[in-house]
């Protein structure tokens, strides 16, 4: 399996802050990288697919970048509803998830 390593595992931040989460693959996955948001008690929600494409209905403050092995999810101005856990997922060969990044209120 391709291994996905996310960092940081958690971060404390404030409304209005810019947030960056990184994800590294153990081998090149081209642009087959997706980002999800999960809130407690809910199923994950697709935010970004193919590294940088915004899923329909997702606010434009979310963006993704990267290719090959290194990827980034950016939230340009954190809103109260964005406090959640974020996961990356590679879909180059089957599927693997990163370990998650919990975004908490400072």
Partner 1 sequence: EVQLVQSGAEVKKPGESLKISCKGSGYSFTSYWIVWVRQMPGKGLEWMGIIYPGDSDTRYSPSFQGQVIISADKSISTAYLQWSSLKASDTAMYYCARHIANIGSDYWGQGTLVTVSS
Binding residues for partner 1, per CB under 8 A?
Answer: 1, 32, 34, 36, 38, 43-46, 49-50, 55, 85, 87, 89, 91-92, 94-100
- Among candidate residues 14, 16, 15, 84, the one with its CA nearest the CA of residue 47: 84
4 exposed, middle or buried (CB, 10 Å; 0-12, 13-18, 19+)?
buried
Nearest residue (CB) to partner 1, 9 versus 12: 9
Residue 72: Cβ within 10 Å count = 17
Nearest residue (CB) to partner 1, 19 versus 86: 86
Q: How far apart are CB 34 and partner 1 at their closest, in Å? A: 3
Q: How far apart are CB 85 and partner 1 at their closest, in Å? A: 8
């Amino acid at each position: 399996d391709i291994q996905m390593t996310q960092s940081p595992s958690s971060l404390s931040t404030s409304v209005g802050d810019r947030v960056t989460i990184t994800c590294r693959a153990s081998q090149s996955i081209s642009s087959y990288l997706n980002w999800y948001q999960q809130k407690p008690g809910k199923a994950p929600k697709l935010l970004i697919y193919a590294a940088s494409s915004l899923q329909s209905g997702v606010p434009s403050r979310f963006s993704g970048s990267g290719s090959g092995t290194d990827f980034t999810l950016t939230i340009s101005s954190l809103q109260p509803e964005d406090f959640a856990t974020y996961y990356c997922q590679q879909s180059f060969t089957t599927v693997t998830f990163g370990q998650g990044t919990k975004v908490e209120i400072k």
